[in-house]
Amino acid sequence: MIGRETVTFVLILLAGMIAGSILGDILGEWLPFLRVSKTVSWSPSLDLDILTFKLSLQLKFNLASIAGLAFAFWISRRVR
């Protein structure tokens, strides 16, 4: 089972990416390179005649979200 520290760490990193992405959208008016993003997607599917399973995961990375991820990582290591 996943420990509480691991779940907290992942949530902090996710919050950092979201905050960085929002900050990139806000500052993107003045710094347009912050809005340039790269999309990574994964879509596994399974079809068993009576059951069909489809999952889609899409992540959009930009410079600001990566900076937010790095900052969140630094904060989480600093807090421990």
Per-residue pLDDT of the chain (80 residues; tens, 9 = 90+): 578 888 889 999 999 999 999 999 899 889 888 888 899 999 999 999 899 999 999 988 899 999 999 999 999 888 87
According to the model, what pLDDT value does residue 1 have? Answer: 57
Q: Are 13 and 65 contacting, i.e. CB atoms less than 8 angstroms apart?
A: no
CA distances from 5 to 15, 22, 57, 80 (A): 15, 26, 24, 10
- pTM equals 0.75
**Eight-class DSSP state of 28:** T
Residues near 73 by beta carbon (within 8 Å), at least 6 away in sequence: 13, 16
Q: What residue ranges do the domains of the chain occupy?
A: 7-79
Helix axes 4-27, 63-79, angle to 10 degrees: 140
The pair of structure tokens assigned to 19 is: 């905050």
